[in-house]
Amino acid sequence: MKVKHDQEKKRFFVEVEGKEAELTYIVESDNVLNYKSTFTPTELRGKGLAGEVTKAALEFAKQNSKKVKPSCSYVRDYVDKHSEYQNLVVK
């Protein structure tokens, strides 16, 4: 499963069975990405897709020296459970 990053539409997504799970974001400043929301179609839930998309988005921030504002509750919960990403969070 390959997560793709569409910088123009500001989203990370994965396509499965012709449907997409995604994380959308806005750029708040040169170094802060606001991860606004995640969405997984009902029929694809429970397969770990939101986690994969969130991990890819956090890895992107990490590799590009960006900070993350986790406005999405799923992203906040993910960061809380994965301490390796907590240093990326800006309040």
Distance between first and last Cα of the chain: 32
Note the pLDDT tens digit of each residue in 18-33: 999 999 999 999 899 9
DSSP 1-44: ---EEETTTTEEEEEETTEEEEEEEEEEETTEEEEEEEE--GGG
- pLDDT in the model for residue 13: 98
pLDDT of residue 2: 94
The answer to whether the CB of 52 falls within 8 A of the CB of 15 is no
Gyration radius from the chain CA atoms: 12
pTM of the model: 0.94
Indicate which CATH number applies to the domain containing 71. Answer: 3.40.630.30
Quote the domain boundaries for residue 36. Answer: 4-88
Residues 31-65 have pLDDT tens digits of: 999 999 999 999 999 999 999 999 999 999 999 99
Give the count of domains, the chain: 1
- CA–CA separation, 14 and 29 (whole Å): 26
pLDDT at 91 over 80: no
